[in-house]
A and B are shown apart, each in its own frame.
Chain A
Amino acid sequence: MVQKIHPDAPSALAGLLFDGMTIAAGGFGLCGIPETLIQALVDSGTTGITAVSNNAGVDDFGLGKLLRTRQIAKMVSSYVGENKEFERQYLAGELEIEFCPQGTLAERMRAGGAGIPGFYTRTGVGTLIAEGKETKVFDGETFVLERGIVADLAIVKAWKGDPYGNLVFRKSARNFNPMAATCGRVTVAEVEELVGPGELEPDQIHTPGVFVQRLILATHNEKRIEQRTIRKEAQ
């Protein structure tokens, strides 16, 4: 059997990294982000990265770590509002950004992973997002052509994984992870819990192992909360 489980993140990323590469990452805000693999990318020193990710982390966490070390040259994201260092680099012209509506970004990753080079969507028609893109009228309504995304590497975070690379996500930490997993030429997953063969219920697997080439047990599971909102007990 091919050994997908690697002892640590550097070993799981060995031979996959090069300057100027495109990396797709799962996560929404700081929820469900591959913390361990992001730290390993920081340590690798890989530069000129195009990062495909819904958000850009915060200053000292998530993809913000790679921004702080100037390893990211371009972000493809829907919303980057929580990161001051991002703002500084962007305004200084040091960082390129391609804004992509959130649903379009999810679908671009899904399409890329499913072998679909482009698709038409209503989202963004008549806005700056559609400028310079081909449009087509279906049943009297205008749609814009968006491209599928295939990344050199995808990094994802899952709750549980088995030696075959089957993954189960937990609650809203699923978000972009399943699509990211499909759109990588190589996909590396970090999991909070490694389980044995047969321990995952086949009907409950979110990402089948065919999409996951390498797997590690996550060592960074801080799961920082961006907006801790609490209700009073009595309510």
Chain B
Amino acid sequence: MPWTRDEMAALAAAELQDGFYVNLGIGIPTLVANHIAPGIDVTLQSENGMLGLGPFPTEAEVDADIINAGKQTITELDRTSYVSSADSFGMIRGGHIQLSVLGAMEVAENGDLANWMVPGKMVKGPGGAMDLVAGVRRIIVLMDHVDKQGTAKFRRNCTLPLTGANVVDMIITNLAIFERPDRQSAFLLRGLAPGVTAQEVRDLTEAEYEEALA
């Protein structure tokens, strides 16, 4: 049975280490914040210039001047600081953020990531995604294993315009987990959703990878 979005988020949350500064992308990656283990202290960064994101506000707490990168209202914590966009991306580009979790349209076996445009469709722009993948030390992608047409999203090469070249370290899909020890290495199949076989994953994946199931 494939993992649910929440289960995928929980798997990504298990990668967080105590003391990490983390940037979570919009969509499923946002759910990662709900699964941080007790005893693991993580500071969430939002690229619009907020370090130390709190939970969503109550009606009474809503403040139009406190939003995250998804333009959602949010609250402060006792550690919160605000910075300009230039300083925020200084944190990101400068390698001060340990981990980012992002969604993807396609990932290639060499770690290329495509998640910002589909030619022929209205392009909304890269936002901060290109800066995040270029600067954050470790990038985890959360995505469905295949697209709505059933086409593999983990591919030999990306067919869509790239967000970054050789930037992905780990892929968590609804069927499997792929990881690589460094950006010179091939991806390894590390885990399977309950009831999913390695052969089924192989059949639904275009990318070359090695099996390294425990």
Contact = CB atoms under 8 A, between A and B. Distances in A.
A227 B72 contact: yes
A172 B65 CA distance: 6
A52 to B, nearest CB: 13
A226 interface: yes
B162 A126 contact: yes
Interface residues of B, number: 52
Interface in A98-129: 99, 101-107, 109-110, 121-129
Contacts of A171: 50, 63, 65-66, 76, 82
Contacts, number: 178
Given A54-B85, A101-B131, A228-B73, A125 B165 contact: yes
A79 B134 contact: no
B127 interface: yes
Contacts of B73: 225, 227-230
Q: Is the interface of B mostly helix, strand, loop or mixed?
A: loop
Contacts of B134: 121-125
Closest 7 CB pairs of A and B: A103-B89, A126-B165, A103-B131, A81-B124, A223-B64, A106-B85, A102-B128
Interface of B: 46-50, 55-59, 62-68, 70-74, 76, 82-86, 88-89, 92-93, 112, 117, 122-131, 134-135, 161-166
Interface of A: 28-32, 54, 77-82, 87, 90-91, 97, 99, 101-107, 109-110, 121-129, 159, 169-179, 206, 223-233, 235
